Amino acid sequence: MARASPQSNRQVNAKPGDVILYQGSRVTIYYGENSWNVTPLGHIGGVTGAGLREALKAGGGHVSVTFSLEGPRRDHAGVFDLERGSVRLNSGYTMPINSLGTYSLAWETCASAVKAALAHGVRLFDTASIYRNEAGVGQAIRESGVPREEIFVTPKLYPGSQYDHPEEAIQDALDKLGIGYIDMMLLHRPGRNDGKAYKAMEQAVAEGKICSIGLSNWYVKELEEFLPQVSITPALVQNKIHPFYRENDVIPYIQDLGIVVQGWYPLGGRGHTAELLGNEVISGIAEAHGKSSAQVILRWNLQKGVAVIPGSSNAEHIRENTELYGFTLSDAEMAQINALDRREKHD
């Protein structure tokens, strides 16, 4: 891949690969050498004059060149505020980047976990119709005394009858939660009638029932097929992400669309956490920072721009999972954790 590096405006003799400003108004790429005085803009590395000439010949005298600017990515919605623990979504709403996941927490356990989380400052709760605990989440929120507008709740619609009759399913989630409106609704996974279900969510946004909408378990191919059909770009994609399974290609693809990525199973998934939390690399980094392995994994996600939804029914773990902001993993530590990728799944 060729990379043009910026140079200062000075007059030099051009050589193959130089990008120059010619006669003040034309951008030219040199394939030969020239002793004229020119204004260099940059240089394309890794190319030869012969290679450039060959490309020109192959195109019958025409080549198409794309210039793009390299710099800090995502200087728009989607940039994590690691001071406040939040991100602005492409829908204009602000979402917390750490939260509580409630998969496999039955009503009462779920309600007490949500209350403990609220007491420790957690403001985002991930639920789903398939978890059968939306009512427990809603009850805990209503009883907490925390103002509704400070809280962010993400329920999901599941394939099957909910995608076949999405208006009823959305109303069902609103009724079970009993908190007035839904902050973010996701389609849980691709399935028959997912386009119809998404359109119903778009309509619910127009009616003020839902603030933001998104997808879960949609990967590059699925997104390429799905996105052309939608009117509202998803604000969030929630996919499985943890150090053994880190979706190298998928995360940047989604982020470059201006969509925030949220990772489920951040600790490897209930019943599968031992190997990840006990991993030597992760424990070593945790020890160096005086943090737990769970905190290091969650922080690694945040520094990659991935919001986290750790699940827990344990008040101490819930508190621990909020303390992710007073330390920073170095580039070397991030690289060490990145290197653990095994593309493993724990479905």
Residues of this chain that interact with ligand NAP (CB under 6 A) are 101-103, 126, 188, 216-217, 238, 264-270, 273, 277, 292, 294, 309-314, 317, 320-321
Q: Which of 30, 93, 103, 131 is catalytic?
A: 131
Which residue number, 102 or 129, has a Cβ lying nearer to ligand NAP? 102
The helix/strand/coil state of 162 is: helix
Strands 182-187 and 156-157: parallel
In this structure, what token pair is assigned to residue 227? 């996105």
Q: Measured from the CB atom, is 188 or 209 closer to ligand NAP?
A: 188
Distances (CA, A) of 194 to 90, 201, 206, 227, 271: 21, 10, 19, 12, 30
Least separation in angstroms between residue 295's CB and ligand NAP is 7
For 126, phi then psi, to 5°, come to -100, 125
103 is known as an active-site residue: no
Q: Partners of 185 in the beta sheet?
A: 213
Give the residue from 161, 224, 148, 152 showing the smallest Cα distance to 188.
161
Using an 8 Å Cβ cutoff, are 259 and 305 in contact? no
Which CB, 101 or 138, lies closer to ligand NAP?
Answer: 101
Q: Report, in Å, the least distance between residue 56 CB and ligand NAP.
A: 50
Mind giving me the DSSP string for 204-269?
HHHTTSEEEEEEES--HHHHHHHGGG-SS--SEEEEE-BTTB--TTHHHHHHHTT-EEEEESTTS-
Directed axis angle between helix 280-289 and helix 331-338, to 10°? Answer: 160
Cβ atoms within 10 Å, residue 275: 10
Please say which residue, 4 or 137, places its beta carbon nearer to ligand NAP.
Answer: 137
Place of tokens 């980047």: 97
Cα(123)–Cα(201) distance, integer angstroms: 23
- For 75, counting Cβ atoms within 10 Å of its Cβ (0-12 exposed, 13-18 middle, 19+ buried), the class is exposed
Looking at the Cβ atoms of 44 and 137, the one nearer to ligand NAP is 137
CA dist 176 and 137 (Å) reads: 9
Closest distance to ligand NAP from the beta carbon of 320 (Å): 4
Contact 286, 295 (CB under 8 A): yes
Q: Which residue is nearest to ligand NAP (CB)?
A: 311
Pick 18 or 247: Cβ nearer ligand NAP: 247
State which residue, 28 or 313, has the beta carbon closest to ligand NAP. 313
Residue 185: both structure tokens together = 């609704």
Separation CA 221–CA 193 (nearest Å): 17
Phi and psi at 233, nearest 5°, equal -60, 135
Active site residue ranges = 131
